[in-house]
Chain A
């Protein structure tokens, strides 16, 4: 069985005019996406997430490396039938209703009855039946993102790339969009999301790729990243020199517990004569993955 999406050693550099140094957007990106898997690329804004997705979608050519969608180049027409891309910013042709936007996209896939079925399916994917007659350019952001998701999934795509879908959405809209993405994955689509803010993605993603300065610093199942516990120590003033394994935070210190007990970690603080006001143990969130040091995490 062919792998839905495969990237090997992908590198992309943006050259800049007037002798300014080039920007390395992506370097040595290697990963695969299995059928039905939901992965999320997380990283700071400008870290190369959109570039990575655009390369995977065939919208950008990599300077080096190989991209394959079901064994084909993503720029080939057969691959483009299989890979869908939902951009972050909603851009629709002016004066078209939601149904017309989806019909416009469906015309690129099929004719006659096929096309009508594709539009019905897309309206269902996005939950857009009630909005079908509204102008697409006038939709609120949450509905516009659903239209983008629907056009991305239109035609039974096997790989769906969704760029920063949750930015600017309220909690209810985030949950609604998450559920729709999960339904697509449950139907067999491989989904690669990107997000600058991973908070709230815990219940959605199977796997997390942490992108730092264009490099995939971590590639781990979400359960591995979320399994850890963190000890937060609150102090009157953070020490200049934290004990080994601790890092300084705004309120005091913080340490990944790993297999250690909280008592053992606190004993280390006491051994360093630190005045501990209070402490608590919390579970790791995906946002911790952004700040964690770059040690290898088992797959």
Chain B
């Protein structure tokens, strides 16, 4: 009960940050930009758009809800009350994923409206939500370790590279160590290319996303305790 209370305490931060910071504006810009890119693409792919929207929105939400320096310093505030670092981490992740879910649902609704393929759009929305959850947990750990600089790097990575499968990088005859490293990162880290398969019902991709959520939340819990001075 105390845990759930702590989780729910973090929720109102999403509404406040959406309305009073540039987070709302950034999310609208992400939606508009991705829809414009899809519209102008030679071969439009609504699933890719939905997955990218989920990933990018999750990073933005985490950045605005947890990544700033005052936010990290203020982590001690809830922990002065009967709340555990785990509840704070889960609550913050839920709030960030909730914000990203709004974006995913908006883009999925647009896809259903324009293509008329409602069941496919539902599957894509599910994959988008899984992407948002996994990327959100990963970015929560990153921002609590290194601030919004790391969130910015992750955003760029996901926007430029995250959609491509690792095979596209190491398919060349002599990929080189840099390409190999990028391929390993793409293979291990949460990335939209992998979670495409969730829309087709692939359990492996769903397990990968769930594992990232679990690992991310465990690390975020530890990090929240350290930031508040509880585990020193």
| Residue ranges of A at the interface with B (Cβ–Cβ < 8 Å) | 54, 57, 59-61, 75, 77, 80-81, 84-85, 87, 91-96, 100-101, 103-105, 107-109, 111, 137, 151-152, 154-155
Q: Is B71 a contact partner of A100 (Cβ separation < 8 A)? A: no
Stretch at the interface among B14-22, B43-51, B139-147, B191-199: B14-22
Q: How far is the CB of A25 from chain B (nearest CB, A)?
A: 12
Q: A80-B82, A87-B76, A104-B77 are in contact. Are A59 and B16 (CB under 8 A)?
A: no
A122 to B190, CA, bound (A): 43
Is B163 in the interface zone, CB < 8 Å from A? no
Q: A91-B73, A104-B12, A107-B8 are in contact. Are A57 and B20 (CB under 8 A)?
A: no
Contacts of B73 in A (CB 8 A): 91
Across the interface, B77 reaches (CB within 8 A) one of A61, A105, A109, A111, namely A105
Across the interface, B81 reaches (CB within 8 A) one of A54, A91, A100, A155, namely A155
Per-residue A-contact encoding for B69-86, CB less than 8 Å = 1, 0 else:
011011011111111100
Q: Which residue of B lies closest to A87 (CB)?
A: B76
A75 to B229, CA, bound (A): 12
Contacts A59-B80, A94-B70, A105-B80 supplied; 8 other A-B pairs, CB < 8 Å: A60-B229, A80-B81, A80-B82, A105-B81, A107-B9, A107-B12, A108-B78, A109-B5
Q: Is B16 a contact partner of A77 (Cβ separation < 8 A)? A: no
Interface residues of B in 1-37 (CB under 8 A from A): 2, 5-6, 8-9, 12-13, 16-17, 20-21
A95 to B79, CA, bound (A): 19
Contacts of B83 in A (CB 8 A): 108
Contacts of B80 in A (CB 8 A): 57, 59, 84-85, 87, 105, 151-152
A155 to B13, CA, bound (A): 21
Q: A60-B232, A107-B5 are in contact. Are A91 and B82 (CB under 8 A)?
A: no
Q: How far is the CB of B28 from chain A (nearest CB, A)?
A: 18
A61 to B232, CA, bound (A): 8
Across the interface, A93 reaches (CB within 8 A) one of B74, B230, B232, namely B74
Q: Is B70 a contact partner of A137 (Cβ separation < 8 A)? A: yes
Q: A108-B5, A108-B9 are in contact. Are A91 and B70 (CB under 8 A)?
A: yes
Q: Is B82 a contact partner of A109 (Cβ separation < 8 A)? A: yes
Q: Is A91 a contact partner of B77 (Cβ separation < 8 A)? A: yes
What are 5 A-B contacts with C-beta separation under 8 Å?
A: A93-B13, A96-B16, A101-B77, A108-B5, A154-B81
State the 3 A-B residue pairs at the shortest beta-carbon distance, nearest first: A107-B9, A108-B81, A80-B82
Contacts of B68 in A (CB 8 A): 94
Contacts of A96 in B (CB 8 A): 13, 16
A54 to B231, CA, bound (A): 12
Q: Is B21 a contact partner of A95 (Cβ separation < 8 A)? A: yes
A292 to B80, CA, bound (A): 35
Across the interface, B74 reaches (CB within 8 A) one of A54, A84, A91, A111, namely A91
Contacts of B20 in A (CB 8 A): 95
Contacts of B9 in A (CB 8 A): 104, 107-108
Q: Which residue of B lies closest to A107 (CB)?
A: B9
Contacts of A80 in B (CB 8 A): 81-82
Contacts of A95 in B (CB 8 A): 16-17, 20-21
Interface residues of B in 115-168 (CB under 8 A from A): none
Q: Is B228 a contact partner of A59 (Cβ separation < 8 A)? A: yes
Q: Is A77 a contact partner of B228 (Cβ separation < 8 A)? A: no
A70 to B8, CA, bound (A): 28
Q: Which residue of B lies closest to A76 (CB)?
A: B82
Per-residue A-contact encoding for B37-74, CB less than 8 Å = 1, 0 else:
00000000000000000000000000000001011011
Of B68, B78, B84, most A-chain CB atoms within 10 Å: B78
Q: Which residue of B lies closest to A89 (CB)?
A: B73
A22 to B108, CA, bound (A): 57
Q: Which residue of B lies closest to A152 (CB)?
A: B80
Contacts of B6 in A (CB 8 A): 108
A96 to B230, CA, bound (A): 24
Q: A59-B228, A94-B70, A137-B70 are in contact. Are A104 and B82 (CB under 8 A)?
A: no
Contacts of A57 in B (CB 8 A): 80
Q: Which residue of A lies closest to B230 (CB)?
A: A59
A111 to B2, CA, bound (A): 11
Q: Which residue of A lies closest to B8 (CB)?
A: A107
A108 to B4, CA, bound (A): 9
Q: Which residue of A lies closest to B228 (CB)?
A: A59
Q: How far is the CB of B95 from chain A (nearest CB, A)?
A: 12
Contacts of A154 in B (CB 8 A): 81
Contacts of A91 in B (CB 8 A): 70, 73-74, 76-77
A151 to B78, CA, bound (A): 10
Q: Is B17 a contact partner of A100 (Cβ separation < 8 A)? A: no
Contacts of A94 in B (CB 8 A): 21, 68, 70-71, 74
Interface residues of B in 95-110 (CB under 8 A from A): none
Contacts of B230 in A (CB 8 A): 59, 75
Contacts of B5 in A (CB 8 A): 107-109, 111
